[in-house]
């Protein structure tokens, strides 16, 4: 059954979209990631114009993070002050990200920029996760193992504007979280993702936040940043396709519930290695596209220079 | 040759008020009193199976039948081969064609050519091979064959040779089913009746589609008929599209509200199920 998308101006099979949303939802339920990094390239693949895919991807991330934040709030696993600091940074980053996005679109380099971002960040994070997952499994095989010292005093702790973040049990400067927020905001706007897969490692390794509040806080921040990104794309480019978003969301919501049930049966380390492999495959595929001789050297874009 | 040009200028039929640009060039239509200009011996009388297409949510392409007859006051001329060409052209819009080249080991867009107006859709159906039934001069005057459907370049041309770029545009749009040449797509019965079927693709953009019928004898234009088909988004599609463009902030907020509601509802429903 075909459906004509009013903004993307293409006709797509409804079940393809529900299935796409479902697969991404399944993965997000399984691994606890937003899934934006998968949905945007998959939308490119089925022929949605890149600018619409990015803007609509952000809208879909809003829905999945609302779901997630509500669950995390119940468990009191959200550090709201920290989330707010990240959010201020995120909004600044997102605004500049949209500016960069429009500039690159005019220059005809947006596809390249998006692809490069994906290859570099997905590749890096995939490899890191894979390495850590394998190490954890090896440690478990040996039995016991030494616990890593969590609080390390580095240059980060010498910065001014210190603030007490109770839920995280941290007393640190607001500058590092602000910068992390800005960086994630820029990437979110350019890549059309929530940025959870970048923010979570940054919160754990750069800010030393305890793991139990990381996911909730990151979702809290992602919710507002992607809402802002969606709104900015809708106002400046008119590229949010609400019909497309709705179908992805419906599929995603169902997939996420199935995914979280499946996930309960697997071990955390196994999940992490699987996710790492998936991330590396996506990054590898996009990387190959950049390096291999394209089948057609020419591409067309509607609209003038 | 001069006679052909005169015929082309003065005697072409404009059926419906179509594009203003063409009307200025072709003010005449048969039946209207135009002094000092003879009517062609043969005239096209044509109809469309429909003159508007609504893009609904379930739009999945559309069929258009263009049919007609050749009206003659005098007996059919002997020995001159009759041919009919039907074109269907979507709204014109600017297009940028970019070319990749290898820089630092990766493929990057490095050169581009802007075309000020290229049709979003262009189909040509003919009663025989285009090269046999249409002479070059008529083709250029009437812009019939696909490469001629594109109009002026936009902005300064920064590449040495723009031809590969426009060829690439035609190739890509042909692959997408947006540009096509259907040789033999016009069926002529008894040298009088003709019909052409067009299958419009699902990825159609809205606007006024122009259909033209050319009656040719030995490659020269005898008569021309022009009409328009209105392609519009309707219903929900129309409403969403208009809202997104005219009230972008409200549309953005609506999309957000929908997403937030869906997220909340999903959490609530599955909590209830558990």
Beta strands (DSSP E) in A198-295 are none
Whether residue A257 is predicted with pLDDT greater than 80 in this model: the reply is no
Q: Note whether B98 contacts A294, CB cutoff 8 Å.
A: no
Sequence-distant (≥ 6) Cβ neighbours of residue A91 within 8 angstroms: A185, A224, A225, A228
**Percent of chain A scoring above 70 in pLDDT:** 91
**How large is the average pLDDT for residues B134-158?**
81
**How large is the average pLDDT for residues B92-113?**
84
Helix B235-246 vs helix B248-273: crossing angle, to nearest 10: 120
pLDDT at position A153, please?
59
Q: What are phi and psi of B211, to 5 degrees?
A: -115, 135
pLDDT at position B24, please?
37
From the CA of A274, how many Å to the nearest CA of chain B? Answer: 26
Beta strands (DSSP E) in chain A are 2-4, 11-13, 162-165, 170-173, 298-302
Q: What are phi and psi of B46, to 5 degrees?
A: -140, 165
As a whole number, the mean pLDDT across chain A is: 80
Whether residue A147 is predicted with pLDDT greater than 80 in this model: the reply is no
The interface pTM score, or ipTM, of the predicted complex is 0.77
Cβ contacts of A297 on chain B, cutoff 8 Å = 99-101, 168
In this prediction, residue A62 has a pLDDT band, given cuts at 50, 70 and 90, of confident
In this prediction, residue A157 has a pLDDT band, given cuts at 50, 70 and 90, of low
Alpha-helical regions (H) of B19-162? 20-25, 130-133, 136-142
State pLDDT tens for residues A85-120: 888 998 899 888 888 888 887 777 777 887 788 888
Helix A123-142 vs helix A268-291: crossing angle, to nearest 10: 150
State pLDDT tens for residues A165-206: 777 777 777 888 888 889 888 887 787 676 777 787 778 777
Whether residue B20 is predicted with pLDDT greater than 60 in this model: the reply is no
More confident residue, A215 or A147: A215
**Contacts across the A-B interface (CB distance below 8 Å):** 187
Sequence-distant (≥ 6) Cβ neighbours of residue A195 within 8 angstroms: A34, A36, A184, A185, A187, A188, A222, A225
Whether residue A71 is predicted with pLDDT greater than 80 in this model: the reply is no
**Percent of chain A scoring above 90 in pLDDT:** 3
In this prediction, residue B11 has a pLDDT band, given cuts at 50, 70 and 90, of very low
pLDDT at position B39, please?
66
Q: Note whether A301 contacts B96, CB cutoff 8 Å.
A: yes
Nearest Cα to A121, choosing from A280, A269, A270? A280
Whether residue B268 is predicted with pLDDT greater than 50 in this model: the reply is yes
**Percent of chain B scoring above 90 in pLDDT:** 12
From the CA of A54, how many Å to the nearest CA of chain B? Answer: 14
As a whole number, the mean pLDDT across chain B is: 79
In this prediction, residue B51 has a pLDDT band, given cuts at 50, 70 and 90, of confident
State pLDDT tens for residues A259-277: 777 777 777 777 778 878 8
Whether residue B21 is predicted with pLDDT greater than 60 in this model: the reply is no
Whether residue A4 is predicted with pLDDT greater than 60 in this model: the reply is yes
pLDDT at position B27, please?
41
Q: How many angstroms from the chain centroid is the CA of residue B72?
A: 29
Q: Do B213 and B44 form a contact (C-beta atoms < 8 A)? A: yes
| Torsion from C-alpha of A17, A19, A20, A25, nearest 10 degrees | 120
Q: Do A4 and B56 form a contact (C-beta atoms < 8 A)? A: yes
Q: Note whether A234 contacts B248, CB cutoff 8 Å.
A: yes
What distances in angstroms separate CA B166 from CA A32, B32, B115, B116, B139, one per listed residue?
Answer: 47, 40, 8, 12, 18
**How large is the average pLDDT for residues B80-97?**
88
From the CA of B62, how many Å to the nearest CA of chain A? Answer: 12
State pLDDT tens for residues A50-59: 788 888 888 8
Instruction: Give the number of other CB atoms < 10 A from CB of residue A99.
Output: 14
Would you list the DSSP string of A113-134?
A: HHHHHIIIIIHHHHHHHHHHHH
Q: Which of A3, A5, A6 to mutate to test the interface with B (most CBs of B within 10 A)?
A: A6
State pLDDT tens for residues B208-220: 999 999 998 888 8
Q: Which helix (H) or strand (E) holds B163?
A: helix B163-175
**How large is the average pLDDT for residues B260-269?**
84
Whether residue B5 is predicted with pLDDT greater than 70 in this model: the reply is no
- C-alpha B74/C-alpha B79 separation (Å) is 15
From the CA of B35, how many Å to the nearest CA of chain A? Answer: 44
pLDDT at position B2, please?
43
pLDDT at position B123, please?
92
What distances in angstroms separate CA B248 from CA A109, A230, A280, one per listed residue?
Answer: 26, 11, 37
- C-alpha A135/C-alpha A13 separation (Å) is 43
Whether residue A144 is predicted with pLDDT greater than 60 in this model: the reply is no
Q: Do B13 and B44 form a contact (C-beta atoms < 8 A)? A: yes
Q: Note whether B100 contacts A298, CB cutoff 8 Å.
A: yes
Q: Which of B114, B168, B249, B256 to mutate to test the interface with A (most CBs of A within 10 A)?
A: B256
From edge to edge, which strands make up the β-sheet containing B207-217?
B52-55, B220-233, B207-217, B82-89, B122-126, B179-183
pLDDT at position B34, please?
41
Would you list the DSSP string of B183-204?
A: ET-EEEETTTEEEEEEEE-SSP
Which of A29-33, A144-148, A214-218, B157-161 has the least mean pLDDT?
A: A144-148
Q: How many angstroms from the chain centroid is the CA of residue B91?
A: 7
Q: Note whether A240 contacts B255, CB cutoff 8 Å.
A: yes
Nearest residue, CB atoms, B203 vs list A9, A109, A299: A9
Nearest residue, CB atoms, A6 vs list B172, B203, B240: B240
- C-alpha B14/C-alpha B30 separation (Å) is 8
**How large is the average pLDDT for residues B109-127?**
87
Which two three-digit tokens encode residue B266?
């999903």
Degrees, nearest 5: CA angle B221-B222-B223: 100
Whether residue B12 is predicted with pLDDT greater than 50 in this model: the reply is no
Degrees, nearest 5: CA angle B20-B25-B30: 95
Q: Note whether A240 contacts B101, CB cutoff 8 Å.
A: no
pLDDT at position A15, please?
92
């Amino acid at each position: 059954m075909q459906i004509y998308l009013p903004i993307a101006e293409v006709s797509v099979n409804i079940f393809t979209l529900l299935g796409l949303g479902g697969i991404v939802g399944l993965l997000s339920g399984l691994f606890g990631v937003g899934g934006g990094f998968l949905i945007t390239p998959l939308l490119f693949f089925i022929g949605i114009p890149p600018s619409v895919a990015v803007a609509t991807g952000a809208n879909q991330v809003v829905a999945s993070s609302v779901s997630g934040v509500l669950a995390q709030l119940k468990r009191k696993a959200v550090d709201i002050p920290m989330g707010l600091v990240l959010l201020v940074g995120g909004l600044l980053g997102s605004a500049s990200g949209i500016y960069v996005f429009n500039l690159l679109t005019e220059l005809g380099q947006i596809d390249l920029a998006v692809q490069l971002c994906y290859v570099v960040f997905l590749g890096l994070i995939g490899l890191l996760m894979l390495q850590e997952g394998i190490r954890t499994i090896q440690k478990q095989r040996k039995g016991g193992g030494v616990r890593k010292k969590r609080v390390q005093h580095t240059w980060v702790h010498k910065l001014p504007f210190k603030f007490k973040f109770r839920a995280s049990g941290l007393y640190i400067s607001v500058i590092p979280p602000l910068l992390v927020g800005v960086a994630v905001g820029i990437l979110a706007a350019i890549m059309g993702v929530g940025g959870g897969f970048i923010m979570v490692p940054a919160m754990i390794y750069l800010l030393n936040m305890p793991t139990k509040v990381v996911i909730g806080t990151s979702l809290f921040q992602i919710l507002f940043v992607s809402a802002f990104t969606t709104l900015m794309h809708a106002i400046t480019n008119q590229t949010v396709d609400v019909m497309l978003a709705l179908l992805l969301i419906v599929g995603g919501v169902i997939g996420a519930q199935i995914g979280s049930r499946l996930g309960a049966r697997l071990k955390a380390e196994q999940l992490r290695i699987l996710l790492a492999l998936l991330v590396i495959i996506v990054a590898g595929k996009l990387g190959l596209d950049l390096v291999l001789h394209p089948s057609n050297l020419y591409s067309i874009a509607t609209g003038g220079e | 040759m001069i006679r052909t040009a005169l015929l082309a200028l003065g005697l072409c039929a404009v059926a419906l008020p179509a594009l203003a640009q063409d009307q200025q060039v072709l003010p005449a239509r048969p039946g209207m009193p135009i002094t000092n200009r003879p009517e062609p011996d043969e005239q096209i009388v044509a109809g469309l199976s429909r003159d508007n297409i609504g893009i609904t949510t379930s739009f999945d392409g559309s069929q258009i039948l263009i049919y007609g007859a050749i009206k003659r006051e005098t007996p059919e001329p002997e020995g001159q081969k009759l041919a009919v060409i039907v074109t269907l052209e979507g709204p014109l819009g600017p297009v940028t064609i970019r070319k990749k080249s290898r820089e630092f080991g990766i493929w990057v867009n490095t050169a581009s050519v802007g075309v000020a107006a290229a049709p979003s859709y262009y189909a040509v159906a003919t009663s025989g091979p285009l090269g046999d039934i249409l002479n070059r001069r008529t083709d250029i005057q009437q812009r019939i064959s696909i490469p001629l459907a594109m109009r002026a370049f936009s902005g300064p041309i920064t590449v040495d040779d723009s031809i590969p770029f426009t060829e690439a545009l035609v190739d890509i749009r042909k692959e997408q089913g947006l540009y096509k040449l259907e040789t033999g797509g016009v069926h002529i019965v008894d040298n009088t009746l003709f019909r052409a079927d067009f299958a419009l693709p699902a990825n159609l953009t809205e606007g006024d589609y122009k259909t033209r019928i050319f009656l040719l004898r030995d490659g020269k234009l005898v008569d021309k008929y022009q009409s328009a088909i209105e392609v519009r988004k309707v219903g929900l599609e129309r409403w969403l599209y208009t809202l997104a463009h005219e009230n972008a902030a409200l549309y953005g907020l609506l999309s957000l509200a929908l997403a937030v509601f869906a997220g909340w509802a999903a959490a609530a429903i599955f909590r209830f199920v558990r």
